[in-house]
Amino acid sequence: MTMLVLPQELTQRQATVCLRALVQDLASLPGPEAVVDASPLNRFDSSALAVLLEFRRAALAQGKRFSTQGLPKRLADLAALYGVVELLAATPPTAPAPVN
């Protein structure tokens, strides 16, 4: 599976350029999934959430499933505070359902 990787820093200053690069790379992703690796992030603000959510919208518009991996705890906490953590789908949507 090919993943798109976020930079170490993603604040308002880098948001537009980062989003543009992610959307540009979206078309070349093979398969039905758009997975973003957020583990490199060590300096970010709420703009990182805005980038991920806008990229999610673009991926879904192209018929791809969206998920993230490696969300830093602080970013996951911020997403929970804003009520959008479920939209970031921290686990790939193709994971098998648990067996009862």
The answer to whether position 61 is within a domain reads: yes
Tens-digit pLDDT string for the chain (100 aa): 689 999 999 999 999 999 999 999 998 888 899 999 999 999 999 999 999 999 999 999 999 999 999 999 999 999 999 999 999 974 433 444 445 5
In a domain, 95, yes or no: no
Does the residue 78 lie in any domain?
yes
With respect to residue 45, please indicate whether it lies within any of the assigned structural domains.
Answer: yes
Range of the domain at 40: 3-88
Q: Where are the alpha helices (DSSP H) in 27-62?
A: 46-61
Q: pTM for this one?
A: 0.85
User: Smallest Cα–Cα separation from 68: which of 58, 60, 56?
Assistant: 56
Q: What is the CATH number of the domain that holds 79?
A: 3.30.750.24
Please say whether the beta carbons of 48 and 16 come within 8 A. Answer: no
How many structural domains compose the chain? Answer: 1
Report if residue 94 sits inside a domain.
no
Position 98 in a domain: no
Residues forming a β-bridge with 67? 35
The C-alpha atoms of residue 47 and residue 71 are separated, in whole angstroms, by 14
